[in-house]
């Protein structure tokens, strides 16, 4: 194993605290200095259970005063509503509309809506103003949501006929004729005998209103039947266990390229803090017309449904401590450890590895202190029945603290980064760039082992993960995903150092054992074809002098001509697939690449430069079905 102790410590700390400017690591370092290396190694390091570790930091004379003093100072820190700012932003939005700057006006209206207290008239007026703007952008569904929210607020009666008028137009544009008629009748009653307004109303309904077309993004069906144990997986996979590999996933049936093996929602997920202003805090979708939390201005939701789920579950405990949590510098993994408690009412995922037997005492101490900090936020946030003044946990609170501490260990090795594709103005496929937006834990997908030449690829729809086979697999074959270092891009030594330091294992996949070259250095790779005899594993290196040869493994006289021809056909089809990608014909490209990759793995074997390039193209096309944004396009055209 290529083991770099300093790099391992740095990687481990990053999974706990991402921001060096935060106060948590300073606190943890002070505790460590007060305790001393001898105490950490020979006292704390000898403890066997998470409960013992937690009790130790609250009770041991060496550190308890410092720990309790720190926890006593945990206070609410969050962004409060501000009516003055809300009014200013609304007036600025109206000024922008007068000069035709719709994009800036939309942003300012949204800022007003997020900053305005729920009883402030500015909230209703900003919702109405934004609804009008969204209608001009043909965003009728979002406009309708704003109008419905507006009616629930304190809005002057003089605006109500206009609201129902606009609702009638939105419903008609969305194809909901009956609701449009009801809204029309209400608007007519409020208008009364004003013939001019009535004419304008009917003229506006007669006009053509077509909603803006958006990319369809839906979860695909699972291939085959649903698994009897893993509810979000196909029955084409099975779970095995060995002393060397632990638990790992294998093919339970023949799997073709491009089959959907897992479609799984997260047990818990957290948005990156830097994405709070661009993505929904709950579903991770891009924000267009956000709504806020009733109490804080820290987060935004894509609509009332996501907001209501969040504020009635996890966010009510995090709301007034969110800026404190972010200010601590803690990583999004640490936040996810908390979210696993607040979102799932303390459910545990007991069967995912923590590597507790390999964890250094100093690292255990840091994670125990983080668990205590998160537990204190739950105490202060009203998660428990008793008051928030007492710092030392009750038995019930200790149990939650144990869950937090285990989560902090488990997530280090089992969480997935959630991403979206940012599309380029010049080419939506080849010009796209991955952008990480959050972190989530998926219990089924976490069972997949790593391979530097993975058998599956993944993409995300919202925060749900989709696992798709990137090459064919026979029954019993290991189905591995990739944890980051892939052989096509990173050399052996680099991959081994990253995996051993970040995930604490020595990779022994084929591409590592055989030291396959990266794609940039793969031009010297030989091409090979399989022996056509069933079950024979012999590979013949090309070129060969004659098609008919004696196989050294099965000893049969075989003709290689057909397999050589199929290999050439595969390479030609890769070129066809590449041209379809250039033409941005996603579904056609997927179909061509899937068939060619299936044939290649029947007649040849990796490594093969053209095949790995084709697999990358397939991955790009599949990712196009998931989260995506035109933000790069807008940045270039504004």
281 pLDDT higher than 70? yes
User: What's the pTM?
Assistant: 0.93
Contacting residues for 480 by C-beta, under 8 A, at least 6 apart: 248, 249, 448, 449, 450, 451, 454, 455, 456, 509
Which of 57-71, 175-189, 419-433 is least confident?
419-433
Residue 538 contacts by C-beta under 8 Å, 6 or more apart in sequence?
530, 531, 551, 552, 553, 554
Beta bridge partners of 239: 249
What letters, b where the CB count within 10 A reaches 16 and e where it falls short, cover 439-468? bbbbebbbbbbbbbbbbbbbbbbbbbbbbb
- Angle, nearest 10°, between helix axes 5-14 and 361-380? 10
| Domain spans of the chain, in order of start | 83-206, 526-623
Weakest mean pLDDT among 350-354, 457-461, 465-469, 612-616: 350-354
Look at 154 and 76; give whichever has higher pLDDT.
Answer: 76
The token pair at 145 is 């949501």
Domain 83-206 of CATH type 1.25.40.10: yes
If phi over 0 gives left and psi between -120 and 50 gives alpha, with beta otherwise, what is residue 284? left
Tokens standing for residue 46:
């000898």
User: What percent of the chain has a predicted confidence (pLDDT) above 70?
Assistant: 97
Whole-number mean pLDDT of the chain? Answer: 93
**Per-residue model confidence (pLDDT) at position 632:** 65
Residue appearing with tokens 């496929």: 429
Q: Are 284 and 271 in contact (CB under 8 A)?
A: yes
Cα(380)–Cα(393) distance, rounded to whole angstroms?
12
Q: Answer yes or no: is pLDDT of 405 > 60.
A: yes
Distance CA 585, CA 575 (A): 14
Sign of CA dihedral 590, 591, 593, 597: positive
The model's pLDDT over 458-471, given as tens digits with 9 standing for 90+, comes to 999 999 999 999 99
Q: Is the pLDDT of residue 636 over 80?
A: no
For the segment 503-523, the average pLDDT, to the nearest whole number, is 90
pLDDT band at 481 (very low <50, low <70, confident <90, very high): very high
- Please return the burial class of 403, using the count of CB atoms within 10 Å of its CB with bins 0-12, 13-18 and 19+: buried
pLDDT confidence of residue 314: 96
Compute the chain's Rg from CA coordinates.
Answer: 29
Instruction: Dump pLDDT digits (tens) for 95-113.
Output: 999 999 999 999 999 999 9
| 263 HSE (CA, 13 A, CB side) | 14
Asked if 31 and 25 count as a contact pair (C-beta separation under 8 A), the reply is: no
Three-point CA angle 38, 41, 42, nearest 5°: 75
pLDDT band at 138; cut points 50, 70, 90:
very high
């Amino acid at each position: 194993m290529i083991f770099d102790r300093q790099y391992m410590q740095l990687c481990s700390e990053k999974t706990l605290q991402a921001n060096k400017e935060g106060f948590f690591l300073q606190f943890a370092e002070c505790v460590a200095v007060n305790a001393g290396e001898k105490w950490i190694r020979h006292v704390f390091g000898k403890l066997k259970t998470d409960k013992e570790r937690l009790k130790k930091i609250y009770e041991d004379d060496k550190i308890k005063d410092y720990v309790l003093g720190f926890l006593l100072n945990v206070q609410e820190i969050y962004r409060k509503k501000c009516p003055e700012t809300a009014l200013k932003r609304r007036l600025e939005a109206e000024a922008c509309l007068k000069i035709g700057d719709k994009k800036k006006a939309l942003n300012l209206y949204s800022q007003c809506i997020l900053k305005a207290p729920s009883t402030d008239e500015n909230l209703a007026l900003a919702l109405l103003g934004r609804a009008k703007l969204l209608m001009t952008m043909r965003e009728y569904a979002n406009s309708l949501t704003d109008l419905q929210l507006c009616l629930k607020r304190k809005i002057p009666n003089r605006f109500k006929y206009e609201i129902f008028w606009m609702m009638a137009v939105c419903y008609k544009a969305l194809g909901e004729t009956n609701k449009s008629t009801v809204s029309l009748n209400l608007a007519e009653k409020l208008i009364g005998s004003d013939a001019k307004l009535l004419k304008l109303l009917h003229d506006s309904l007669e006009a053509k209103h077509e909603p803006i077309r958006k990319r369809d993004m839906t979860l695909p069906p699972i291939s085959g039947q649903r698994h009897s144990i893993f509810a979000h997986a196909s029955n084409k996979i099975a779970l095995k266990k060995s002393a060397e590999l632990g638990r790992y996933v294998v093919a339970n049936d023949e799997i073709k390229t491009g089959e959907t093996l897992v479609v799984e929602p997260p047990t818990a997920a957290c948005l990156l803090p830097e994405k709070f202003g661009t993505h929904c805090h709950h579903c991770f979708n891009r924000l267009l017309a956000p709504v806020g939390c009733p109490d804080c201005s820290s987060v935004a939701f894509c609509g009332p449904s996501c907001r209501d789920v969040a504020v009635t579950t996890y966010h009510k405990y995090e709301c007034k401590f969110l800026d404190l949590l972010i200010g601590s510098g803690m990583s999004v993994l640490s936040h996810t450890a908390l979210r696993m408690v607040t979102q799932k009412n303390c459910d545990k995922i007991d069967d995912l590895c923590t590597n507790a037997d390999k964890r250094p005492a100093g690292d255990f101490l840091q994670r125990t202190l983080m668990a205590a900090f998160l537990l204190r936020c739950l105490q202060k946030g009203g998660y428990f029945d008793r008051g928030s003044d007492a710092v030392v946990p009750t038995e019930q609170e200790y149990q939650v603290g144990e869950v937090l501490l285990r989560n902090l260990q488990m997530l280090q090795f089992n969480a997935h980064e959630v991403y979206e594709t940012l599309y380029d103005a010049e080419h939506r496929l080849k010009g796209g760039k991955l952008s990480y937006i959050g972190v989530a834990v998926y219990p089924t997908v976490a069972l997949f082992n790593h391979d530097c030449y993975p058998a599956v690829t993944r993409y995300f729809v919202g925060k749900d993960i989709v696992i798709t086979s990137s090459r064919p697999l026979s029954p019993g074959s290991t189905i591995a995903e990739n944890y980051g270092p892939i052989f096509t891009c990173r050399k052996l030594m680099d991959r081994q150092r990253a995996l051993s330091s970040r995930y604490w294992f020595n990779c022994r996949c084929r591409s590592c054992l055989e030291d396959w070259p990266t794609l940039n250095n793969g031009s010297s790779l030989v091409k090979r074809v399989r022996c056509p005899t069933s079950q024979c594993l012999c590979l013949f290196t090309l070129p060969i002098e004659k098609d008919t040869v004696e196989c050294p493994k099965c000893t049969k006289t075989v003709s290689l001509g057909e397999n050589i021809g199929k290999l050439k056909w595969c390479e030609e089809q890769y070129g066809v697939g590449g041209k379809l990608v250039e033409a941005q014909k996603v579904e056609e490209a997927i179909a061509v690449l899937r068939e060619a990759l299936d044939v290649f793995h029947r007649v040849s074997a990796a490594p093969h430069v053209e095949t790995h390039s084709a697999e990358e193209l397939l991955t790009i096309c599949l990712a196009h079905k998931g989260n995506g944004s035109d933000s790069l396009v807008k940045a270039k055209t504004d």
